Structure 1
Amino acid sequence: MKQELDFQVLFEALPHLVLVLSTGPEFIMLAANEERLRGTNTRREDCIGRSIFEVFGKNPEEQSEFGAGVLRASLERVVQTRAPDRMAITKYDIPRPASEGGGFEVRYWSPLNTPVLNAQGEVVYIIHQTEDVTEQVIEQQRSNSSLKVTDERFRAALLASEAGIFDWYIDEDRLYFDNALQQLFKLPDVLTHNAIERFVDYVHPDDRGQVRLSFAQCAQGRDFVLEFRLHRTATEQWLVCKGKVFRDASGSPSYVTGTCVDISARKQAENTLRELNETLEARVAAEVAERTKAEDALRQAQKMEAVGQLTGGIAHDFNNLLTGIIGSLELMQRRHSMGDCKGDERYINAAVTSAQRAAALTQRLLAFSRRQTLDLKPVDVNQLVASLEDLLSRTTGENIKVITDLSAGLALACMDANQLESALINLIINARDAMPGGGLITISTDSRHIKSEHEAELIGLKEDDYVVLTVSDTGTGMTPEILAKVFEPFYTTKPIGQGTGLGLSMVYGYMKQAKGTVQIVSEPGIGTSVYLYMPCYKGGASTLPGTTTEASPLGSGETVLVVEDESVVRSLIVEVLDELGYQTLEAADAQEAIPLLEGNHEIDLMITDVGLPGMNGRQLADFARLSRPELKVLFATGYAEGSNVSGYLAPNMEIITKPFAIDALANKINAMLKAS
């Protein structure tokens, strides 16, 4: 006959102290065996139906509870993991019966919490089994057991590492610190009743906000890592704290455990390193400033050397030219005073020739300094080269052959045609002089599209389309040392008296002012190639400038207003205009010209210097056109900084560069007045 199992008998026969608990959150005691009741000196009616945390309380003689937070954490782990959880040996004192004198008896327990699952795998009960290990613990304490040694070593290690452990039981509002934290930071063993705020009192006022925030985040279930300073310490003391949140069976944050480490030494080292870095940065900045000062001084010295070289060369050339002019004029003056005009024409020609050479030298200086007034217009480079072939061939002589290699379909270049002609002639002359025994000069044209930023930077241009004019020779070539100096003013390898040294510097000035550039490739014994990069013309259809002019056309009584602050120049222009058949009005500056412009005078053309005192020539022209919108204006300038014609002139405006020939002035005025 099958015998039925009596589970109550089995339950009571278990050798250990056993409780059956609900799954929380109060963990109600549902059943207890007699061994449990006897072992803890409690009655069944005082236990069953109550929370385990209500039944087992604190020994009033002890400073802290038996470890309710640790027990709750274990029970919640069982619910969460559905696996048994063995707790560390726990000290819990048992109350003695009054018949035995009352008070508490010291006992140690080894608890094991085991889940009971239903068919769905859910935890429905927790068996809380406890074994009394008091005798073993006392024996271990007596024999200096390994447990005590390990515990002491652990505590020693924490102290040596200046670290400690804390536990915050959120529901109980209790914050526990181990011995290491108590010793290191002079904290109590436990804080209760608004525990976090009480702990914040130990924190430096400037760091309290972030400490509150971190613990508030823990209460929401988020772990934290935080650095902060302590308050009320003799020296600045820094901690780094790491907190880990554990949850109960319902998933709500239940308690936090973590570590605190003293990082004061690290912070002090960081501050020291930062101070060293700041000192180093200051030293580096001072040294850089000193080096910059030295470099500026060197550049200034080099600049002054270049200026000295430039002014010396100018003085040399101008003194020669002025000697020809002054000498010729003095001879004519002396002969005229004696009534002898014989040979005047020869001296006049000599003075004019010297003056023209002086004007050409001035234009080269302006080109070198990139202050030359350029008339930028569409230029057919192929046509320009072709028109100069005969001249260039005659310039080079019979022992040098000049050939051309012109690219078909070449775009128009945006350039001053006259200056480009001058540049090409200069390059041909240089190539000729580099081949005293004869050779070959090749003039070629091509298109070049610079599309990469790196390539543009190497050449010194912006990304765009360019027309390239190249002059190559088979001459002696140049060494790297000479090549590095070819654009310097008055630098020349020719004998004294055979070159000014302004040729290539002038070409360089033309190209850079026209938004182009010059490149030179040369090798001793092989030859030299000079590349002129000119931007492509991007305007609409335009008539290319012609090359023929009519000489000295006469006026028909038109009225011309001359505004020039230099009295000698003004009187010369007025006299020339009178001889050419024009009516003239004159003014020294804008202040004198404005009443004439506002008056009833009929004015067909205004000739004005660009660099007038006060209101400049362009400003005067703009003012004049307020009342005379159709007025034609001719600007005369010897120095017009940045006055490239393409951006400086408006419709019905032209420009002429000083010094100018009478025929050039007459032709310009006639062309402007006859234009519709």
Structure 2
Amino acid sequence: MTAPWVAVDEYQILFRQAPILMMVLDPDLRIVEATDAYLQATLASRERDIGRPLFEVFPDNPGDPQATGVANLRASLRCVLRDRIPDSMAVQRYDVRTPQAGGDHFETRYWSCRNVPVFGPGGQLAYIVHRAEDVTDFVQQPDPDAGTPAAPALADLLHTELVRRSQELQETNQRLRDADASKSAFLSRASHELRTPMNTVLGFAYLLTVAGLQPPHLDHAEMIIKAGRHLLALLDDILDISRIEAGQLAVAMQAVPAGNIVTEAADLVRPLAQVRDVTLHLLPPTERTTIAADPNRLRQILINLLSNAIKYNRPGGTVTVTLTRHGPLVHLTVTDTGRGITPEGLTKLFDPFERLDAPTAGIEGTGLGLTLSQQLTRAMNGTLTVTSTPGHGSRFTVSLPAATATTGEPNPPAANNTAAPATRAYRDPKQILYVEDVAENRLLVQDVLAHRPSITLTTATLGTAALDQAGRHPPDLVLLDLHLPDIPGEEVIRRLRHDPATHHTPIVVVTADATQHTTGRTLAAGANAYLTKPIDIPLLLNTLDSLLDPETG
């Protein structure tokens, strides 16, 4: 039997006749569509009002100097445009206009509304769906004791109080949203300001390590890299926790072979175990087990747990990883023979920056690993639990759902870009335009590109100068910082894509802004790749090879 379906040209009919109050706006807040029910409830007209600006169709009542309908709705829509998430509005009064021969007349109405973003195929915000419910009858319902003289006044008082409380709730929610937006802006700015100098520190330190230095100077350069990466790890953990709290951390759930991910994590911490004289035991699972998880996040959790189990262990101790399945859950357990944790310590173990007695014991760490691991596990629909006996070690268990037939297939492993850069010549000479206002960053990239003698590097410190230069002498590739003194990097991308001379020119963003929101927005604007500072030098070179000389890259 053929499945039922609806013809494409019938969807508009279905939408318009749906028994709900719904309006569709474009990003410029023009009305592009509405259900018949919405038009009827708001006393609007399809022929007269579709295509017009929202607040031109629905102005405030000029006869009510206290009217706040336009201001409240505009604020909600701005939140949707800015944050790209739905926004619910409190019950409020918003009178509707009834055109009459003697001039406009306004009817009192009360509404409960919700505004929802709709995204296009490239991730851009394409529309806003405005869903409304007319609650006028509820707010103005007659009092059952209306026969008493005081009833009308009491009913008016109750109506006024209801609207006032709803307005207070909306204002409180707006303050909370503003505070959250301020925190996000601060973290984004802090990330940029910290990553910018670390790009110079780690970049030149890396070049020193591959330049033939001998001990002890090579050791000193490696210490600089180690300290810098520790600072970046702390920054990344803070940003990840912030994203989780804001509900903005995306996890890519896949069918992950549990044994493989345990082996990968153990291989990464094995050098630490050898230095600390700790033995790793990986007990094989009783069956081939797959977990529904984000492989990168699960690996991050296991590395945190294994690193802690090693650092807090005793010389000659052991760390054991077991893998078991009970019903729909898979349990990954990391057991150590270390000092253990007191009952008091267990109560604050997952608090941010809590390191118990680690500082006095001289154990390195940031105090964020367990906090982040717990929240990442929750984001993947799992739990992280711990039991411990002082003097006899600790046991951490990550419990996650087993993969099912509907779980996504695993992605192929990422290429390893950590090797020292090799010098490579392209088949043809290439020219790169690097748009960057920080002199140290320009010098670093210039030194890095010594490993690609086929490339000629030109630079620009301003976005407008770069656009003029690219228009007159189109480069083979543009390296672009997003934070420029004159215009935003995203505007540079848009103009490059609109100029026929650079429409197809590859654009690689190299920025200190590591936020996911900026990454997605920039790639949607037309960038080919997005690299964050401090620059991963092998990754930068591999990216350039793939875009400039793919057959030999």
Q: Does 1 or 2 have the higher relative contact order (CA < 8 Å, sep 6+)?
A: 2
TM-score, length-scaled by structure 2: 0.49
- TM-score normalised over the length of structure 1: 0.41
